[in-house]
Amino acid sequence: MNPIIEHALTKIWTNPKQDYQAIVRPAQVTPSYGAVNRFHYSYREYGLPEDGAKFHVYTYGGYWIENLNVKINYDQWYHLPKLMKEQGFTLDLYTIEGYMLPKYDCWISQLRNGLFLIAVKDRNHNRFTLGTKEIYARTYINAWYSISSDSDKLEVLHFDLENNSKIMACISAIKELQAKEGHTWLIVNGYFFDAEIWNGYIDGAIRSGERVVSEILEKK
């Protein structure tokens, strides 16, 4: 190999396998109303992550999972927060308007035939109905990044803010994480909020009677 090219590949981060983000519009494989327990795709039947719950399933098609820098076994569903904590893998699902789906609702699977699947648990979203609108998937890939200690972990905490006590529990969790080393991100109803100043209010009003989802992402 040309020594200049070799130097660039190994020393200057121009290796195409390093540090890039993939943004894909996955195809929806379940009906607009979702599926419960099992779904059919390409003349085959597949199980869903949880029995009795409604899911919407999307696919990249055939995809080499190592391109996402995540190690999973074939034919199993993996909860996204667990992969984020154990392997540092990250996946953002969002609409064209930028509304982010809760990571707590997401599972991924790689089938032996190469099919890569994303299952999203159904819930009532304030701004759109899941299954009726296209979503986008973003991953950040860094093949040199690996989880080697507790200080590298990504933590996801999820709250359904149904009442004031849940809101206070969420605020308490934010403060607890902020007291630790690392950075804390806050997503409320699909959009980022400033974790330093958020106090349970949106647009100046307490969210009484409104379905609210909050997730805290902590990079330790």
Task: Kindly report the CATH number assigned to the domain that includes residue 170.
Answer: 3.30.1340
Q: Where are the beta strands (DSSP E) in the chain?
A: 20-24, 27-28, 35-36, 38-41, 44-47, 54-62, 78-79, 91-94, 106-110, 115-121, 136-141, 154-160, 183-188, 191-193, 201-202, 205-206, 213-219
Q: Are residues 8 and 115 in the same domain?
A: yes
| Domain final residue pick, 141, 162, 190 | 141
Give backbone dihedrals phi and psi of 175, rounded to 5 degrees, phi first: -65, -40
Q: Are residues 131 and 166 in the same domain?
A: no
| Domain final residue pick, 113, 141, 169 | 141
Q: Are residues 10 and 99 in the same domain?
A: yes
Q: Are residues 61 and 96 in the same domain?
A: yes
| Domain final residue pick, 141, 163, 195 | 141
What is the value of pTM for the model shown?
A: 0.80
Q: How many CB atoms lie within 10 A of CB 26?
A: 19
- Most confident region among 30-39, 84-93, 187-196 by mean pLDDT: 30-39
- Categorize the per-residue pLDDT at 51 as very low, low, confident or very high, splitting at 50, 70 and 90: very high
Q: Are residues 8 and 79 in the same domain?
A: yes
Mean pLDDT, residues 34-49 taken together: 93
Residues 6+ apart with CB under 8 A from 220: 150, 151, 152, 153, 154, 155, 180, 181, 182
Percentage of the chain beyond pLDDT 70 is 72
Q: Are residues 7 and 104 in the same domain?
A: yes
Q: Are residues 38 and 75 in the same domain?
A: yes
Q: Are residues 73 and 23 in the same domain?
A: yes
Predicted pLDDT at 76: 94
Segments forming the whole domain that contains residue 206: 150-219
For 104-122, letters b (16+ CB in 10 Å) and e give bbbbbbbbeeebbbbbbbb
Domain count, the chain: 2
- Categorize the per-residue pLDDT at 36 as very low, low, confident or very high, splitting at 50, 70 and 90: very high
Q: Are residues 132 and 104 in the same domain?
A: yes
Q: Are residues 55 and 123 in the same domain?
A: yes
Reported as a single tens digit per residue, the pLDDT across 108-143 is 998 888 888 999 999 877 667 888 888 999 887 655
3-state secondary structure of 71: coil
Q: Are residues 115 and 213 in the same domain?
A: no
Reported as a single tens digit per residue, the pLDDT across 137-192 is 988 765 555 555 555 567 888 888 777 888 888 888 888 888 877 788 888 888 88
Q: Are residues 27 and 121 in the same domain?
A: yes
Mean pLDDT, residues 62-71 taken together: 72
| Residue at 204: amino acid letter | G
- Categorize the per-residue pLDDT at 17 as very low, low, confident or very high, splitting at 50, 70 and 90: low
